[in-house]
A = this chain, B = another copy of it.
Amino acid sequence: MLKERLYVIKIGGNIIDDEQRLGAFLASYASLNGKKILIHGGGKLATQLATTLQIPQQMVDGRRITDAETLRVVTMVYAGYINKNIVASLQQLGSNAIGLCGADANLIRAQKRVHETIDFGFVGDVQQVNDAFLQTLLQQNISVVIAPITHNGEGQLLNTNADTIAQEIATAMACYYQVSLIYSFEKTGVLLDVNDESSVIPQLTPSLYQQYRKEEKIFAGMIPKLDNAFRAIASGVHNVTIGKAEELGKLVSGQTGTTLTHD
């Protein structure tokens, strides 16, 4: 039997920081027919609030070290301010949205990251997704909006990478749906020339990706995202599309952006 389509859409930080672009994105998202899950990042709002509260922010390898005070800030900003405002906007747009973090209904269980040399603080690596509960919401045509905060089951909230959450959710839901995972951000897709927005690679397969990587044609910053994306495909996700948030309608139909598929 053909599985129903499910869109798992990650919306990046730069869009969230821009009220107008976020509004345009949410309008496209709301008008998307069918089952859908939205995962949002945090953007600069958390950093701004931490700065105002004089909580020093430490970044290691592009990742935020999350001490107790910073965890409090990201919990407030991601799971509170951003999540609830997105939900209220989607409700206005006629999309019956519900905003959750990973602790809610045990949606995403994670473990505190253990690293040989770096103490990342309250950062979580995803262990398990409560796919059965997500499915009960989707069956009611509720669109789920997920903030990148998880928990360890022992009372501890954990700051967790939103790209990874999107991948884990997409993979977990592949048993019920034909899942399209969409990473929407400020670029038009995976570029052969990072300075040329028209150099989008329209299609990538695992073998083509390996070839481009050998030829060093893939921008280093995209590699973790693409590695995650191909892992999702290897685990049953139907396709992954990467492209501009403002073109969501075209992205989901594969008319723009970069689409990753099986070989």
Contact = CB atoms under 8 A, between A and B. Distances in A.
Interface residues of A, number: 39
How many copies make up the complex?
2
A88 B53 contact: no
Contacts of A80: 75-81, 83-84
A105 interface: yes
Question: Which of A53, A81, A96, A106 counts the most B-chain CB atoms under 10 A from its CB?
Answer: A81
B91 A103 contact: yes
A205 interface: no
Nearest to A77: B76
B104 A87 contact: yes
Interface stretch (A9-17, A112-120, A149-157, A216-224): A149-157
A121 to B, nearest CB: 16
Contacts of A142: 105
A261 to B, nearest CB: 34
Interface in A38-92: 52-53, 72, 75-81, 83-85, 87-89, 91-92
A246 B89 CA distance: 38
A51 to B, nearest CB: 12
Contacts of A101: 84, 87, 99
Given A91-B151, A151-B91, A84 B99 contact: no
Given A136-B136, A136-B140, A140-B136, A103 B76 contact: no
A165 to B, nearest CB: 15
6 contacts: A76-B76, A80-B81, A91-B155, A96-B105, A99-B103, A100-B104
